Amino acid sequence: MKNWFICLLLVISVSACSKDDTPETEAYEPTPLPLNIPKIFLDNIIAPVIPNSNPQTVEGVALGKKLFFDKKLSGDQTIACATCHSPQLAFTDNTPTSIGVAGDFGTRNSMPLFNLAWNFDERFAWDGKELSLERQALEPVQNPIEMHSNWQEVVSRLQSDEDYPELFRLAFNTSTITKELATKAIAQFERTLISADSKFDKYSLGEASLTSQELNGLDVFLREDKGDCFHCHGTPTNPLWTDNIFHNNGLDSSFTDLGLGAVTGDTNDNGKFRSPSLRNLVYTAPYMHDGRFATLDEVIEFYSTGLKQSSTIDPLMKNITNGGVQLSTSDKADLKAFLITLSDPSFTTNPDFLE
């Protein structure tokens, strides 16, 4: 009897220490959310850039969207990223340069935001100073003219919010908020901002036709002896409509804003700015890095008759002594008609991108 009791104790003690046979609860992982790559991109250009250190997830994108529209990121909590990057305006604003929390204007036009994951060199902003989307998102918050806040304050504000700690836990497996995680989330949201449903996209896919004026405008765009726009903005086989490279396009004969030159320190880069995409021009006026042109007509007139010589002007710019490519009145109108076909109304009304 005594031996039986000892045996029972042994069995109990061993089973108490043994591994639980029931399955362990799996560790939480955010839900992967691959980018929805449009067919016209799949057919024509290489895969987008998604950093291994910041994979797209459902929860990360949702958090990034909330942060993007949240005024808590600014010093006096009056503006959000979306204030200067409005979805209805293809994520830019409609002033030459943008107004900050104190009512001051910056020096650069707010860049529209779309198809950012296809900026393969990952040099963002007009002058290429931001070397990733994640790093770019750090800057406006602490820029004294823009959101005029600091990340320590912003993180503290988010940490004491009743929702954000849980949203960060869902997105990144930690409720301890950092500026790095906040900008990762914003970058994830920004990478989802894909625009590829313009009239011209439909035309390329055989789903729409262009008018004769629009087709002639395309011809002007592509002809080296007319507009020669394609060397910097691409052909229909590159649906980004930009090379994302830095050029001096002849805006000024001397530079008050050095652009890329101020970033690299190389005088050969003075006056160079990143080619913007020609998508969504209907929504993104005014134009150029300083928003100097209010209308597309002004832009086309500039390339036709307004070029200015300087030491770093791109050799692709033509007929500079006569001011440019000297388009006829009808070619200018046709070129404008074609450019408008690159705008994508569904992008500005996409509920996934609206607050």
Partner 1 sequence: MIRIFTLLLCTTLLLTACSEDKDDNLVVKSEATASFNFTHNWNGTAVTNNNFNSIQYTNENGEMLSVERLRYIISDITFSRDGEDDIVMDIYNLVDVTNNANTTLSLEQKIPTGTYTNVSFTFGLDNEDNAENYLDLNTQNFNVPQMLGGGYHYMQFDGKFINSSETEQGFNYHAIRAVDNPGMNPTFPQDTFFQVNLGEITITDNATLEVKMNIAEWFKSPNLWDLNLLNQMLMPNSSAQIMMKENGASVFSLGAISQ
Query: How many residues contact partner 1, by CB under 8 A?
Result: 32
Q: Does 237 bind partner 1 (CB under 8 A)?
A: yes
Measure the CA–CA gap between 273 and 53, rounded to whole angstroms: 28
Q: Does 46 bind partner 1 (CB under 8 A)?
A: yes
The torsion defined by the Cα of 59, 64, 70 and 74, in degrees rounded to 10, comes to: 140
The nearest distance, CB 77 to partner 1, in angstroms, is 41
DSSP bridge pairs for 287: 293
Helix crossing, 58-68 with 164-172: angle to 10°? Answer: 140
Measure the CA–CA gap between 1 and 204, rounded to whole angstroms: 89
Residues whose CB falls within 8 Å of the CB of residue 87, separated by 6 or more in sequence, listed in order: 348, 350, 353, 354, 355
Q: Which stretch in 8-16, 226-234, 298-306, 337-345 sits in contact with partner 1 by CB under 8 A? A: 226-234
In the shown chain, the binding pattern of residues 304 to 333 toward partner 1, with x for contact by CB under 8 A and - for none, equals -----x-xxxxxxxx-xx------------
Rg (CA), the chain: 26
The alpha helices in the chain, defined as continuous H runs, are 2-17, 39-42, 58-68, 81-84, 133-142, 151-159, 164-172, 179-191, 199-204, 212-222, 230-233, 260-264, 296-305, 329-340, 345-349
Nearer to partner 1, 36 or 321 (CB): 321
Measure the CA–CA gap between 180 and 60, rounded to whole angstroms: 13
Nearer to partner 1, 137 or 307 (CB): 307
In the shown chain, the binding pattern of residues 105 to 134 toward partner 1, with x for contact by CB under 8 A and - for none, equals ---------------x--------------
Q: Does 50 bind partner 1 (CB under 8 A)?
A: no
Nearer to partner 1, 309 or 330 (CB): 309
Q: Does 219 bind partner 1 (CB under 8 A)?
A: yes
Nearer to partner 1, 165 or 236 (CB): 236
Nearer to partner 1, 17 or 46 (CB): 46
The nearest distance, CB 250 to partner 1, in angstroms, is 10
C-alpha dist (Å) from residue 171 to 61, 80, 252: 8, 21, 46
Residue with tokens 């004026």: 213
State whether residue 287 is helix, strand or coil: strand
Residue of 134, 190, 201, 228 interacting with partner 1 (CB under 8 A): 228
The nearest distance, CB 142 to partner 1, in angstroms, is 32
Nearer to partner 1, 124 or 230 (CB): 230
Nearer to partner 1, 31 or 253 (CB): 253
**Interface ranges with partner 1 (CB under 8 A):** 43-46, 120, 219, 222-225, 228, 230-232, 234-238, 243, 268, 309, 311-318, 320-321
